[in-house]
Amino acid sequence: MRWSLVPRNVVEVVDPPRPTKREIKPLSGEQVKVLLEAAEEDKLHALYILAVTTGMRQGELLGLKWEDLDFRARTLQVKRTIC
């Protein structure tokens, strides 16, 4: 288009595909119990606890750094996300 080699930009007349929305089904209390028991010895056990108790998204969990945690104030701030 910029060099006038084609008469029109065909992308302008195409409808882009829309992502399908999936319903998120949270784990039941029993499923959470089974998950945490099974992952008890896993090095990511604390991450699993954080995931099921806070509702944080996967990218938010993976974007956490130690500096986001304030032990004195007992707070955790989500400052970034990883896509």
Residues 11-69: tens digit of each pLDDT: 888 898 998 988 989 999 999 999 999 999 999 999 999 999 998 999 999 999 999 99
pLDDT of residue 35: 96
Identify whether the C-beta of residue 43 lies closer than 8 Å to the C-beta of residue 51.
Answer: no
Residue 10 pLDDT > 90: no
Question: How far is residue 80's CA from residue 60's CA, in Å, rounded to a whole number?
Answer: 6
